[in-house]
Amino acid sequence: MSENLLEVTGLQKHFPITKGLFKRQVGAVRAVDGIDLNVVAGETLGVVGESGCGKSTAGRLFTRILEPTGGKIVFEGEDITHKSVTQMRPLRRDVQMIFQDPYSSLNPRHTIGTIISAPLQIQKIPTPQGLKKAVQELLELVGLNPEHYNRYPHEFSGGQRQRIGIARALALRPKLIIADEPVSALDVSIQAQVVNLLEDLQSEFDLTYVFIAHDLSVVRHISDRVAVMYLGKVMEIAHRDDLYKNPRHPYTVALMSAVPVPDPVRRDSAQRGRVLLTGDVPSPINPPSGCRFRTRCWKAQDICATEEPPLVQRLDDPDSHLTACHFPVVDDEAVAGRAPAATPA
Amino acid sequence: MSLGPEASVTDETSAPTADAAEVRGPAEKAIAGRSLKQIAWRRLKKDKVAVGGGIVVLLLIVVAILAPLLTKLFGHPIDEYHIDQIDPTFGTPIKPWGGISSDFIFGVEPTSGRDVFSRVVYGAQTSLTVAFLSAFVSTILGVIFGTAAGFLGGWIDSMISRVMDLLLAFPQLLFSIALVSVLPYSILGLDGRWSRILVLVGVIGFFGWPYIGRIVRGQTLSLREREFVEAARSMGARSPRILFRELLPNLAAPILVYTTLIIPTNILTEAALSFLGVGIPPPNPSWGGMLSDAISTYQTDPMYMIIPGGMIFITVLAFNLFGDGLRDALDPKAR
């Protein structure tokens, strides 16, 4: 494919934990702790992981709503890691965000017209056809009645509100849209409509998506490539089919096996292949040394505690892809939460 | 373009309640959305108790504004003595019920024979002026410091919060008594009555702002984390825009409610200060001052105590009922 739209290297975001009257820093939540990835123009990069793994924080770092603690973000060849609010303003046109909660992402006191025209007004974008007309065009684009421009958010359903959020993100005709769990607050039937709308818009406006979600099947449907995150780190990145068919990282294997199987005939066999992880996700305040996943991994060995595995493609495995693991899972290996397999790959 | 089934339902979902359908007129008017303000107004109109309170409040405001006219029409000047209405041996009004007659509709003051109606009407002017202006001062200060604390956070927040704690713990009444007793009779070239009103507004307003400030701070803190603020930020909005366009419209409801609810408190504080002799200086009338005067004669002339006491009671009750109704109308979830 073509060039990278977004390049992220070693990105970190630590939220300080303060204590006492003078706000002495006693620690930090390492929400995002060194992630490397790039987003190719025109593709959809899915980001999956369980709650609290730093997906949303990563999304907010890409749009620079949050200030990174470390690392580097390059957008279209321009380093935007530490740009100030004023320096970022022109770039806001190119990177927009769709939010998770359609109820809190729209200001209840503003009409739909005000909400969707806000980006145009803030960025002072001229609308030759008039602001109202521009808003109505956007409403039509996302499948809403253009006559509804002076209604209030509380008069719409969750799916419609999410469409309003999408119209607002589209108003500036961005190149990159960070969608932070855009469908996880919606009913399954509405999810499909919104996901299809996002796909239609992508082909119509040459959009690039970073699609953050915890629903593996939605991500599989929409993404070209998928990144798996765990405790603030990227564990594995691969093309969709590659990742879903040949997961290499033990965490990805466990994650994939947790996807519910709707077919009752296939369910039995799927149940047998289920990998049950023990324990909880460790605290991001004090993550495990070495590999983050070693505390719950059935393949963990001594080296996992001392040496952090880099996110690389292993040379000894031609079918492999970028994986951060010392002992990646191979295709026909006996996995599952059974007895720990002692043999390294 | 995928026009999902939900898009086609929009026209039905637009009328969620029965009364919404009934106000909907011609087809093109049906599209206009109802703002939260309109919905709250509709809800308030249905609340009979709140409407009653609101009517009494409005009536009192009209009375206070028209005090000179009402006195001229139905009463006598506030400092005119009517010794002929007073029993010279006991100092009490000659006529029963505190001297109520067609000429003196609320009776006369014991000893001096001044018209109680005129004094109550002018007392309303004093009480409401002090209550409204001090509520205004409290609201302005409370909103400025509350939003600053909530929105900016950090050490500014800690500082403002500590100041609020300090003011809430401060003995307001003792401070007011001490302050008023050392101040000159006239300040800024105003006469005794208005200069004292000014002092009362300053004192009550200043000690009242932490109540509003805390609420505004809390609301700002919770609103600041909402996704629409992040959305505004991701579009490149500056902080003033976020504050004035995104946050303040959402703060309007609690601010309005709590302003309405501190007005009765302020009326009581003013009455208490006047009762203690540090409010409006005599011979200017005030409800608290009249109550204080009535103490010496309450056994022989109870009407003189009942009338200003009843006025305070009615006013405070009306404001509270209206404020509660307003809160229910603006935020039905808080019930």
Please spell the DSSP secondary structure of B143-196, one letter per residue: HHHHHHHHHH-HHHHHHHHHHHHHHHHS-HHHHHHHHHHHS-S--TT--HHHHH
Contacts of A92 in chain B (CB under 8 A): 234-236
Q: Which of A141-150, A282-291, A319-328 has the lowest mean pLDDT?
A: A319-328
| pLDDT for residue B7 is more than 60 | no
Does B226 contact A104 at a Cβ distance shorter than 8 Å?
A: yes
Identify which has the larger pLDDT, A210 or B183.
Answer: A210
Backbone φ, ψ for residue A233 (5° rounding) = -130, 150
CB pairs A-B closer than 8 Å:
120
In this prediction, residue A268 has a pLDDT band, given cuts at 50, 70 and 90, of low
> Shortest CB distance from A109 goes to which of B227, B241, B250?
B250
**Chain A positions in Cβ-Cβ contact with residue B1 (cut-off 8 Å):** 141, 143, 200
Q: How high is the pLDDT of residue A168?
A: 92
Residue A297 has pLDDT above 90, yes or no: no
* Residue of A66, A100, A155, A196 to mutate, testing the B interface (most B Cβ within 10 Å of its Cβ): A155
Contact A33, A233 (CB under 8 A): yes
- The predicted pLDDT at position B99 comes to 66
| Contact indicator for B255, A139 with CB cutoff of 8 Å | no
Q: Looking at chain B from residue 28 to 47, which residues have their Cβ under 8 Å from any Cβ of chain A?
A: 31-36
Q: Which residues in chain A have Cβ-Cβ distances shorter than 8 Å to B249?
A: 107, 109-110
Q: Do B13 and A96 touch (CB under 8 A)?
A: no
pLDDT of residue B234: 86
pLDDT-above-70 percentage for chain B: 83
Number of structural domains found in chain A: 1
Please give the pLDDT value at position B26.
41
Q: Which of A32-36, A190-194, B8-12, B320-324 has the lowest mean pLDDT?
A: B8-12
The domain segmentation of chain B, as residue ranges, is 46-334
CB B99 within 8 A of CB B90: no
Is the separation of the CB atoms in B128 and B134 below 8 Å? Answer: no
Give the burial class of A48: count Cβ atoms within 10 A of its Cβ; 0-12 exposed, 13-18 middle, 19 or more buried. Answer: buried
Q: What single-letter amino acid sits at B303?
A: M
Q: Does B228 touch chain A (CB under 8 A)?
A: yes
Contact between chains at A197 and B4 (C-beta distance less than 8 A)? yes
Rounded to 5 degrees, what are φ and ψ at B20? -65, -35
- Distance to chain A for B228, nearest Cα, Å: 4
Across the interface, whether the CB atoms of B230 and A122 are under 8 A apart is answered no
Considering CB atoms only, which of B2, B4, B246 is closest to A107? B246
pLDDT of B334 reads 46
Tokens 């990278």 — which residue?
Answer: A4
Out of B7, B36, B231, the one facing A97 most closely (by C-beta) is B231
What's the predicted TM-score (pTM) here? 0.78
- Confirm if A187 and A158 have CB atoms less than 8 A apart: yes
pLDDT of residue B134: 93
Rg (CA), chain A: 22
Is residue B128 a contact partner of residue B60, using CB atoms and an 8 Å limit? yes
Interchain proximity A111–B230, CB inside 8 Å: no
* pLDDT of A122 strictly over 50: yes
Q: Do A60 and B227 touch (CB under 8 A)?
A: no
Q: Is the pLDDT of residue A332 over 70?
A: no
Residue range of the domain that includes A149: 114-171
3-state SS assignment for residue B238: coil
The size of chain B, in residues, is 335
Q: Which residues of A touch B250 (CB under 8 A)?
A: 107-109
pLDDT at B169 over 50: yes
Q: Is the pLDDT of residue B103 over 80?
A: no
Residue B152: how many CA atoms within 13 Å on its side-chain side?
14
Examine the pLDDT at B141 and tell me if it is beyond 90.
yes
In a domain, residue A143? The reply is: yes
Q: Are strands A322-323 and A208-212 parallel, antiparallel or unpaired?
A: unpaired
In a domain, A337, yes or no: no
Measured between CA atoms, how close is B250 to chain A, in angstroms? 7
- Residues 6 or more apart whose CB falls under 8 angstroms from that of B260 comprise B319, B322, B323, B326
Q: Is the Cβ pair A151, B227 closer than 8 Å?
A: no
pLDDT exceeds cutoff 90 at B142: yes
**Residue B335 pLDDT exceeds 50:** no
| pLDDT score for A250 | 87
Omega before A287 cis (within 30°)? no
What is the dihedral sign for C-alpha B107, B109, B115, B119?
A: negative
Which of B6, B35, B228 faces A152 most closely, judged by CB atoms?
A: B35
Where is pLDDT greater, at A110 or A267? A110
pLDDT tens per residue, range B20-29: 333 443 444 4
CB-closest option in A63, A110, A148 to B10: A148
Distances (CA, A) of A291 to A53, A218, A243, A275, A297: 14, 28, 20, 19, 10
Average the pLDDT over A291-296 and give the result: 86
Rounded distance between C-alpha atoms, residue A277 and residue A254, angstroms: 7
* Exposed e or buried b per residue across B160-191, where buried means at least 16 C-beta atoms within 10 angstroms of its C-beta: bbeebeebeeeebeeebbeebeeeeeeeeeee
Please give the residue that has the higher pLDDT: either A271 or A135: A135
Under the banding of pLDDT at 50, 70 and 90, the label for residue B171 is confident
Contact assignment for A97 to B234 by CB distance below 8 Å: yes
B227-257 pLDDT, tens digit each: 888 888 888 888 888 888 888 888 888 888 8
Q: Identify the pLDDT of residue A102.
A: 86
Q: Which residue has the higher pLDDT, B213 or B18?
A: B213
Write the pLDDT tens digit of every residue in B274-324. 888 887 877 788 888 888 888 888 777 888 888 888 988 999 999 999 988
Query: Band of the pLDDT at B6, cuts 50, 70, 90?
Result: very low
Question: Taking CB atoms and an 8 Å cutoff, what residues of chain B touch A88?
Answer: 236
Q: Are A32 and A232 in contact (CB under 8 A)?
A: yes
Nearest to A200 among B2, B154, B236 (CB): B2
Select the residue of A119, A148, A160 nearest B6 (Cβ to Cβ). A160
Q: Which of B2, B43, B219 is most worth mutating to test chain A (most A CB atoms within 10 A of its CB)?
A: B2
**Tokens in use for B199?**
């002092």
What pLDDT is recorded for position B12? 37
The candidate with the shortest Cα–Cα distance to B331, out of B246, B214, B253, is B253
DSSP state letters, A64-113: TSS--SEEEEEETTEE-TT--HHHHGGGGGTEEEE-S-TTTSS-TTS-HH
Mean pLDDT of A150-160: 87
Task: Report residue A333's pLDDT band, with 50, 70 and 90 as the boundaries.
Answer: low
CB contact under 8 Å between A110 and B249, yes or no, is yes
Q: Which of residues 255-294 of B touch A (CB under 8 A)?
A: none
pLDDT for B260 beyond 80: yes
Phi and psi torsions of A227, nearest 5°: -110, 135
- B283 contacts B126 by C-beta, under 8 angstroms: no
Q: What is the pLDDT, as a whole number, of residue B117?
A: 84
- Helices B287-294 and B303-330, packing angle to 10 deg: 140
pLDDT at A344 over 50: no
pLDDT the model gives residue A290: 85
Q: What is the pLDDT of residue B32?
A: 60
**Nearest in space to A84 (alpha carbons), one of B145, B77, B239:** B239
Residue A120 covered by a domain: yes
pLDDT at residue B2 in the model: 41
Could you give the dihedral angle defined by the CA atoms of residues A183, A189, A192 and A197, in that order, rounded to the nearest 10 degrees? Answer: -80
Residue A14 φ/ψ, nearest 5 degrees: -110, 125
Nearest CA in chain B to A95: B234
Contact A190 B4 (CB under 8 A): yes
pLDDT band at B10 (very low <50, low <70, confident <90, very high): very low
First-to-last C-alpha distance (Å) of chain A: 31
Asked if the interface predicted TM-score (ipTM) of this complex is over 0.95, the answer is no
Question: Side-chain half-sphere of A278: how many Cα atoms within 13 Å?
Answer: 9
Q: Does the pLDDT at position A163 exceed 70?
A: yes
Residue B130 has pLDDT above 60, yes or no: yes
Give domain B46-334's CATH number out of 1.25.60.10, 3.30.565.10, 3.30.70.1230, 1.10.3720.10: 1.10.3720.10
Segment B28-47 shows an average pLDDT of 71
